[in-house]
Homo-oligomer: A and B are copies of this chain.
Amino acid sequence: MITIEEAEIRSGIIKAMSHPVRLMVIEYLKDGSRTFSEIFGLFGFDKSTISKHLLVLKEAGIVSSKKNGSDMIYTLEVPCVTDFFGCVTAVIENNVRRQQVCLCKR
CB proximity to B under 8 Å, residues A1-47: 1-2, 4, 7-24, 27-28, 42-43
Are B80 and A9 in touch, CB under 8 angstroms? no
Closest to A59 in B: B103
- CB-defined contacts of A27 to chain B, threshold 8 Å: 1-2, 7
CB distance from A28 to the nearest CB of B (A): 6
Report the 8 A-B pairs with minimum CB-CB distance, sorted nearest first.
A12-B104, A12-B105, A15-B18, A7-B20, A59-B103, A61-B95, A80-B87, A84-B84
When all copies of this chain in the complex are counted, the total is 2
Interface residues on A, range: 35 or more
- CB-defined contacts of A102 to chain B, threshold 8 Å: 9, 12-13, 59-61
